[in-house]
Amino acid sequence: MKDIATPSRTNEILKKYGFTFKKSLGQNFLIDPNILTSIVRYAELDDKKGAIEIGPGIGALTEHLARTAKKVVAFEIDQRLLPILDETLAPYDNVEVLNQDVLKADLKNVLEEQFAGIEDIMVVANLPYYVTTPILMKLLEEELPLEGIVVMLQKEVGDRISAKPGTKSYGSLSVAIQYYSEPETVMTVPKTVFNPQPNVDSSVIRLKMRKTPPVELDDSAYFFTVVRACFGQRRKTILNNLTNNLEDGKKYKKEIEEALQSTNIDPKRRGETLTIEEFALLSNTLKRTIG
């Protein structure tokens, strides 16, 4: 059977259905089967595992998942793609397409209903650029029973996700993703293998879910509040950022200074230099004093 993800087959399908791309939905379809084969390989799927896909488009990645996994559930928000997927995925009886916005879906319920008897579930997707971060954070924060996540996303976002302290790309997103998972960039994908061609290259990131967080927190919500505050203005010092960005920070400037002193964190440092362990120590200290 001819792969969906070739330039000629993709164009044939799009022409048949008169499909036009919606920029607002970040639709860029892969037209290189070799890259899809690699993505599925990095997901380490087999006939006992399940796969969740987000934004299947015309089914290019979906069919590769269906050939390997026991069951595939794909979330597609664009109703215009449903009849196309009905046709392109007709040979595969192990695929369920849900016309839902994944950001509004009850994922725990979907996993229970769709993957009964399947223990290992991976998320494997070519994520729309405009909602990459909200989707990843929903998948991680809801503490779903996932084995891992393998996603293609904008290269710049991939760099931020796997960035280390002290680098330009390191920020609150790096800390958040690395709190819940162990990220690894496994592939760089050129913009030339998409239709339509995006403006930037992509990365494939693999996230291995942590069984326990790397740090102990008194309050995880407050931890992320402190992290975001420290990155509020990248050029500012930690003391400046905490004073200006934490609620009542100006009122508690003295306590913030004392918290930094007691944790041996120089108030003149910038947020991008702090490790996740230092953020945890700082947020726990601040929580006990001003939180």
Q: Are residues 143 and 200 in the same domain?
A: yes
Q: Are residues 89 and 194 in the same domain?
A: yes
Domain boundary among 209, 232, 251: 209
Q: What pLDDT digit, counting tens, does each position of 93-119 carry?
A: 999 999 999 999 999 999 999 999 999
Q: Are residues 184 and 241 in the same domain?
A: no
pLDDT on residue 50? 98
pLDDT on residue 291? 74
Report if residue 129 sits inside a domain: yes
Bridge partners of 54, per DSSP, are: 75
Domain count, the chain: 2
Could you tell me the CATH number of the domain that includes residue 80?
3.40.50.150
pLDDT on residue 105? 97
Q: What pLDDT digit, counting tens, does each position of 126-169 carry?
A: 998 889 999 999 999 998 999 999 999 999 999 999 999 999 99
Domain boundary among 168, 187, 209: 209
Q: At 26, is the pLDDT very low, low, confident or very high (cuts 50, 70, 90)?
A: confident
Domain boundary among 174, 209, 244: 209
pTM value is 0.93
**Does residue 247 have a known ligand-binding role?**
no
**Does residue 101 have a known ligand-binding role?**
yes
pLDDT on residue 25? 77
**CB neighbours (10 Å) of residue 247?**
10
**Does residue 94 have a known ligand-binding role?**
no
**Does residue 239 have a known ligand-binding role?**
no
Report if residue 1 sits inside a domain: no
pLDDT on residue 109? 97
Domain containing 165 equals: 7-209
Question: Amino acid identity of 202?
Answer: S
Q: Are residues 226 and 147 in the same domain?
A: no
- Cβ atoms 209, 197 nearer than 8 A: no
Residue 113, Cβ density class (10 Å: 0-12 exposed, 13-18 middle, ≥19 buried): exposed
Give 141's contacts (C-beta < 8 A, 6+ positions apart).
Answer: 180
Rounded to a whole number of angstroms, the CA Rg of the chain reads 21
Q: How far is CA 184 from CA 18, 41, 148, 208, in A?
A: 38, 15, 11, 8
Instruction: Output phi, psi for 242, to 5 deg.
Output: -65, -40
**Does residue 28 have a known ligand-binding role?**
yes
Please name the helix (run of DSSP H) or strand (run of DSSP E) that holds residue 112, with its range, or none: helix 107-114
Closest listed residue to residue 223, CA positions, set 283, 270, 179 = 283
Does the pLDDT value for residue 217 go beyond 90? yes
pLDDT on residue 24? 75
Q: Are residues 63 and 200 in the same domain?
A: yes
Does the pLDDT value for residue 23 go beyond 90? no
Closest listed residue to residue 81, CA positions, set 109, 53, 41, 106 = 53
pLDDT on residue 22? 83
Report if residue 135 sits inside a domain: yes
Bridge partners of 150, per DSSP, are: 124, 206
Q: Are residues 243 and 275 in the same domain?
A: yes
Q: Are residues 44 and 108 in the same domain?
A: yes
Q: Are residues 228 and 96 in the same domain?
A: no
**Does residue 30 have a known ligand-binding role?**
yes
Q: Are residues 35 and 129 in the same domain?
A: yes
Report if residue 190 sits inside a domain: yes
Q: Are residues 44 and 188 in the same domain?
A: yes
Q: What pLDDT digit, counting tens, does each position of 61-85 carry?
A: 999 999 999 999 999 999 999 999 9
Q: Are residues 13 and 142 in the same domain?
A: yes
Closest listed residue to residue 271, CA positions, set 177, 190, 200, 167 = 167
Report if residue 215 sits inside a domain: no
Does the pLDDT value for residue 18 go beyond 70? yes
pLDDT on residue 1? 64
Q: Are residues 152 and 260 in the same domain?
A: no
**Alpha-carbon distance 128 to 105, whole Å?**
17
Q: C-alpha dihedral over 92, 94, 99, 100, to 10 degrees? A: -150
Report if residue 91 sits inside a domain: yes
Could you tell me the CATH number of the domain that includes residue 257?
1.10.8.100
Does the pLDDT value for residue 267 go beyond 80? yes
Report if residue 53 sits inside a domain: yes
Does the pLDDT value for residue 249 go beyond 90? no
The per-residue pLDDT of the chain, averaged, comes to: 95
Report if residue 96 sits inside a domain: yes
